[in-house]
Structure 1
Amino acid sequence: MANFQDLISFCQGYDKAYNPTNENLKIPNLQLLYQEANDKLDSFKTQKTAFDNVTNDRKNAFANLKTLSTRIINAISVSGADALAIADAKAINKKIQGASSRKPPGAETPTPSENPGNSISTSQQSYDSLIDHFTSLIELLNQNELYKPNEEDLKITALQTKLTELKNTNTNLINAATAKSNAMIARNETLYNKVTGLVQISREVKQYVKSVFGANSPQYDQVSSLEFKVRRK
């Protein structure tokens, strides 16, 4: 963007000598393109910041889920519930802990990676699965009359509130990922469209300056060193 601003400034300095027939290369349209690109970049930065914030919110919301689930298992195990109910609860907890497959002794349980942005990604499926397993665990507890812990955060009402928090942060991140992705698409279209994008237009401006003043001219030397590269991420 800084280079494009310099490019416009150089072209303005050529005064009447800079007079392309291509409307896209005229100074007023270059200025409009610069402003549009700035707006799209600002929008992407805003959405990126929002995405980062809700990513942290979700990470924090899920941070204690495994520990909480283990405490629930300990609580139901001493509640007087029948062995089958306890076994079912432990089976759900294993899924929450990520222990459904065999691992070498001492191996750490993997946690969902922080690369959402795609609703069908492995990361997103991991969070969706955690919510699903925790929902099943709460339902099991809700159907067991003997599960009545004194600890406030282990009571079913508190667990339901926790579940709502998990669902909300997960949904917020999905929505933020979509907004970020759309902002990136809009930004890339303005910067990298093969016909009207800022990168392409800048190359054509440089080529026009070269045609007017010559390859060895000081004017072309001014603009030829300005780099414009495609970076889509």
Structure 2
Amino acid sequence: MLQDLLLSVQSKLDNTKTKKTGFDNATNNRRNAFTDLRSLSTKIVNAYSVSGADQLGINNMKSVNRKIQGSPSKKSNVQAEEQQPETKQISNSQQSYDKMVDHFSGIIEILVQNPSYSPNENDLKITALQNKLSDLKTKNTELIDSYTQYSNAMLERNQLMYNPLSGLLQTAKEVKLYVKSVFGASSPQYKQISGIEFKVRKGDK
């Protein structure tokens, strides 16, 4: 029984590490995909402003671009929120990225409705921007999926380790008590295991 519990815990720990790596990779991939979005949006606004669009359309475009640019504090918060995978931080960060995707989609919609927008730069053409939007959505979805897998792995690990009735920590306490009751508090058998410490790791719960 104890050997089976040990093997199960080791399996859950390995699985959690694997899912954490996947989550970290997805986080980096998404961050890289969004790195140039603010500068790209500014380039789009400049190209749109000289495309022959009416002033109202230009004002709308600038308004959406301001939402993408955000404030300096918001820019730093998006990165800070991803440093640790706590649910609240991930949720806040996700909202930030979701909004940026929505705003960028809004910019493309404005361009589509303006037939005079026809830039020479390939990266500013509507098709390229639509591909960019698709990539942003994909990277965003991949991170959501990877975090869900990582979160589930942590829950399974914690349940096996910290369940108050059958978890590893509780089982270790009961084993110590059993050895103490059978061999005595001053016995070599009990002294051999009494100093082994089991505790909840910071960040696990």
Please, what TM-score do these two structures have when normalized by structure 1? 0.81
Per-residue CA deviation, residues 1-52 of structure 1 (Å, 9 max, x unaligned), is xxxxxxxxxxxxxxxxxxxxxxxxxxxx000000000111111111000000
1:60 aligns with 2:24: no
2:64 aligns with 92
Query: Which runs of no fewer than 5 residues in structure 1 stay unpaired?
Result: 1-28, 100-107
Per-residue CA deviation, residues 47-101 of structure 1 (Å, 9 max, x unaligned), is 00000000000000000000000000110111111111111100000000015xx
Where 1:121 maps in the other structure, the secondary structure is helix
- Determine which of 59, 72, 92 is the counterpart of 1:122: 92
Q: Which residues in structure 2 correspond to 1:216-227 (within 5 Å)?
A: 216-227=186-197
2:4 aligns with 32
1:110 aligns with 2:74: yes
Partner amino acid, structure 2, of 1:184: M
What is the distance in 2 between the residues matched to 1:156 and 1:88?
17
> Quick check: which one's helix share is greater?
2
- Percent identical pairs in the alignment equals 57
Change in Cα spacing, 1:221 to 1:109, as seen in structure 2 (3 Å) is closer
Work out whether residues 202 and 228 of structure 1, in 8 Å CA contact, stay in contact via their aligned partners in 2: yes
1:19 aligns with none
Partner amino acid, structure 2, of 1:148: S
Q: Which residues in structure 2 correspond to 1:1-233 (within 5 Å)?
A: 29-99=1-71, 108-111=72-75, 112-113=78-79, 114-115=81-82, 118=87, 121-231=91-201, 232=204
**How many Å apart are 1:209 and its aligned residue?**
0.8
Where 1:79 maps in the other structure, the secondary structure is coil
Answer with 1 or 2: which has the greater Rg.
Answer: 1
What is the distance in 2 between the residues matched to 1:118 and 1:224?
36
What is the distance in 2 between the residues matched to 1:218 and 1:167?
61
**How many Å apart are 1:191 and its aligned residue?**
0.6
Query: Which runs of no fewer than 5 residues in structure 2 stay unpaired?
Result: none
Change in Cα spacing, 1:110 to 1:147, as seen in structure 2 (3 Å) is same
Where 1:110 maps in the other structure, the secondary structure is helix
Partner amino acid, structure 1, of 2:108: I
Work out whether residues 70 and 93 of structure 1, in 8 Å CA contact, stay in contact via their aligned partners in 2: yes
Work out whether residues 118 and 177 of structure 1, in 8 Å CA contact, stay in contact via their aligned partners in 2: no
Partner amino acid, structure 1, of 2:74: P
Q: After TM superposition, which residue ranges in structure 1, 4 or more long, deviate above 3 angstroms?
A: 116-120
What is the distance in 1 between the residues matched to 2:87 and 2:58?
36
**How many Å apart are 1:118 and its aligned residue?**
4.0
**How many Å apart are 1:110 and its aligned residue?**
2.3
Partner amino acid, structure 2, of 1:96: I
Work out whether residues 117 and 181 of structure 1, in 8 Å CA contact, stay in contact via their aligned partners in 2: no
What is the distance in 2 between the residues matched to 1:110 and 1:197?
41
What is the distance in 1 between the residues matched to 2:130 and 2:155?
38
